[in-house]
Structures are given as structure tokens and as C-alpha cells.
A and B are shown apart, each in its own frame.
Chain A
Amino acid sequence: MGILLAFSAAVLFAFSAILIRLALEHLRPTTSTVLSLLSGLVLVMSLALGFHWGVIKALSFGMFFWFFLSGLLNFPLGRFMNFSSVQRLGVSRALPVINSAPLFAATFAIIFLGEEMTAPLLIGTIAVMGGIILIVSEK
């Protein structure tokens, strides 16, 4: 069941990228980002309110700083640059590069959370960098 759900997530992300490519033929990245955020917000907030109302009522004020930071990094920065790159490069070129995010997450975790550089992390980093170089060097 877990694999099926993970597979569904991968397909949903891929379809989302294709749909935004179609939208970006006519709309600016700013408009596309706002529309995609609004529709996503309705869905996710409804689910959160439905399943976790008790948790939401008890949220501490301090948590909102982290929500704000997460929202800022993910959407005005992350998704807007994501859509802008898809508009310039197309889905096939932009999406693999954008999906190298775990490499940067690991780098930040090493710098800010004190995690250690390990052999698998190094191997993964080399693979990601090699993949990015292959894509970027493609004419």
C-alpha cells in the first residue's frame, strides 16, 4: 500500500508539472503560482481542519514563526522559481534539477543541524551533480 501511495504521489507531481507547463503558455508564472496555491490551500486546509482540529486549536504562537518560514521558502520562493524555470526550460529540463532539493536539504542539515557527511551522502551528491551537469550541458 505504501509503494502504491508513493507511486501515486510521483504521478500526481508529474501531472502537476505538465498542467503548469500548459498554463504557462498563456499565464505569467506569478498568476500561475497564486492560482495553484489557492486551489491547493482549499484542499489541504480542509483536510487539516477536518482531521486535526484539536491540534490546530492548541497551536502555540511560536509555531506560527516556523509555518511562516516554511511558507516563505516553499511558495513565494520555491514554487515561483519552479514555475519560472519550467516556463524557460520546459518540464523535462527543469524538473530533474528542481528535484535535487534533498541535496541542498542535506547540505543545510550539515551546516545548521550538525549532521555529518557520510560516504552514501557523498556518492549521492556526486550522482546528483553529474546528472545536473549532463542536463545543463545538453544543447
Chain B
Amino acid sequence: MNSGFPRSLALGYLLALGAAVSYGGSQVVAKKIVEDVPPLVGAAFALFFGTIILGVLVARDVSHSNPAPKKAYFWAGLAGLFASSGVAAMFLALDAAPVVVVAPVISINPLFAILLSQIFIRRLERISWRLVAGAVMIAVGVSVITISRI
């Protein structure tokens, strides 16, 4: 690895791309699921199996982790509630408006995250024009891809 690009960052980007590939694959599977059942049922059972699989895989790691402040557990639980509420809101939005309207609005969520990070966790996050421009380009590209597949 190039000494100008720390290994930790490279691994971080690989993990982010890995997450994108996994989510991309899951969207293809979700398309098959929603042909037969309501999206909420598909999401609930996917969450159920996902929780069981991950729980089995990492039970030992979780049980041996160092104690953390209670607020950290609270943030993690609340993050799950927000993410799931986001999914529910997305399904309701898709029920109320066409994908061509909903997809571009949802694809700007990284821009909201950048904005919120500067409000709430500025000490942890550093942003630049290049980062914002990259996030805008991805949001535009994702909107175009999503709309083109309707």
C-alpha cells in the first residue's frame, strides 16, 4: 500500500464498497420478495434472519467486549430505530409517490449526514469541497440509475 494512503483508510473504503455491493445484491433479492409479499413483511423477516445470523457469528465477540458508557448502547439502539423508521418512511413514500420522485430525495441522505455531522459531531468529522462534490455526484448518479430502471 502507498505510504501516502494509510492502510486503515484503504480498508475503510473497501468496507464501504463491500457494504454497497451487499446492499446492491440485497436490492435484487428484495425485488423478488416484493413480487410476492408486502415490503414490510419482507423487511421484518430479513431483519429477523439477519439478527439471528449476526448474533450467532459475533455472540462471543459481543460478550467479551469491554464495558462502554451506557449512552453508547443507547446511541446504537436509537440508530437502529432511526434506520428502521427510515425504511418504513421510504415504503410509505413509495406508496404515496412515484419512484421517480422518491429516489432522488432519498439519495441525498449523505448530504444531510454531512450537514448534520457539522452540527452535532464537528469534532469527529472533517469535510472539504472535494468530499461534498463527490457526495453530490454520487447522489445525482444514483438518482439517474434508479430512475432509468423504472
User: In the complex, A60→B92 CA distance in Å?
Assistant: 25
Inter-subunit contact B51/A12 (CB<8 Å): no
Considering only CB atoms and an 8 Å cut-off, how many residues of chain A contact the other chain? 116
Asked if A71 and B50 sit within 8 Å, CB to CB, the answer is yes
Query: Does the CB pair B149–A94 fall under 8 Å?
Result: no
Q: Name the contact of B131 in the complex, choosing from A55, A67, A133, A138 (C-beta under 8 A).
A: A138
Would A76 and B50 count as touching, CB distance under 8 A?
yes
Contact-residue size bin, chain B (C-beta under 8 Å from the other chain): 35 or more
In contact, A5 and B93 (Cβ under 8 angstroms)? yes
A64 to B37, CA, bound (A): 11
Q: Are B50 and A10 in contact (CB under 8 A)?
A: no
Contact between A34 and B83, CB atoms less than 8 A apart: no
Measured CB to CB, the closest approach of chain A to B1, in angstroms, equals 13
Complex Cα distance A22/B122, Å? 11
CB-based A-B contact count at 8 angstroms = 464
Interface residues of A in 61-93 (CB under 8 A from B): 63-64, 66-82, 84-85, 87-93
Q: Does the CB pair B131–A99 fall under 8 Å?
A: no
List B110-143 residues whose CB lies under 8 Å from chain A: 110, 112-117, 120-121, 124-128, 130-131, 133-143
**8 Å CB contact of A102 from B73, B92, B109, B145:** B145
Question: By the criterion CB–CB under 8 Å, are B20 and A73 in contact?
Answer: no
Contacts of B33 in A (CB 8 A): 63, 66-67, 70
Contacts of B16 in A (CB 8 A): 81-82, 85, 89, 93-94, 97-98
Give the residue name and chain of the B residue nearest to A72 (CB): B53
Q: Are A89 and B12 in contact (CB-based, < 8 A)?
A: yes
- Tell which of B120, B134, B144 touches A134, judged by Cβ atoms closer than 8 Å: B134
A127 to B4, CA, bound (A): 26
User: Can you list 25 A-B contacts (CB < 8 A)?
Assistant: A3-B101, A8-B89, A8-B93, A9-B90, A10-B109, A23-B72, A27-B68, A32-B79, A36-B80, A39-B81, A43-B81, A45-B44, A48-B38, A76-B53, A85-B18, A91-B125, A92-B110, A95-B110, A99-B138, A120-B144, A121-B148, A127-B137, A128-B142, A131-B135, A137-B130
